[in-house]
Amino acid sequence: DAKTTQPPSMDCAEGRAANLPCNHSTISGNEYVYWYRQIHSQGPQYIIHGLKNNETNEMASLIITEDRKSSTLILPHATLRDTAVYYCIVRGIHGSSNTGKLIFGQGTTLQVKP
Partner 1 sequence: DVKVTQSSRYLVKRTGEKVFLECVQDMDHENMFWYRQDPGLGLRLIYFSYDVKMKEKGDIPEGYSVSREKKERFSLILESASTNQTSMYLCASRDRTPLHFGNGTRLTVT
Verify binding: residue 41, partner 1, rule CB under 8 A.
Answer: yes
Q: Candidates 10, 44, 55, 109: give the one binding partner 1 (CB under 8 A).
A: 44
- Closer CB to partner 1, 83 or 87, in the complex: 87
Task: Evaluate whether 84 touches 37 at the Cβ level (below 8 Å).
Answer: yes
Instruction: Give the chain's largest Cα–Cα span.
Output: 45
Is the four-CA dihedral 43, 89, 76, 113 of positive or negative sign? positive
Q: Candidates 18, 27, 49, 60: give the one binding partner 1 (CB under 8 A).
A: 49
Q: Candidates 18, 71, 107, 110: give the one binding partner 1 (CB under 8 A).
A: 107
Verify binding: residue 8, partner 1, rule CB under 8 A.
Answer: no
Could you say which residues in the range 86-105 bind partner 1, by CB under 8 A?
94-95, 99-105
Strands 84-92 and 55-56: unpaired
Q: Which residues bind partner 1 (CB under 8 A)?
A: 34, 36, 41-46, 49, 94-95, 99-107
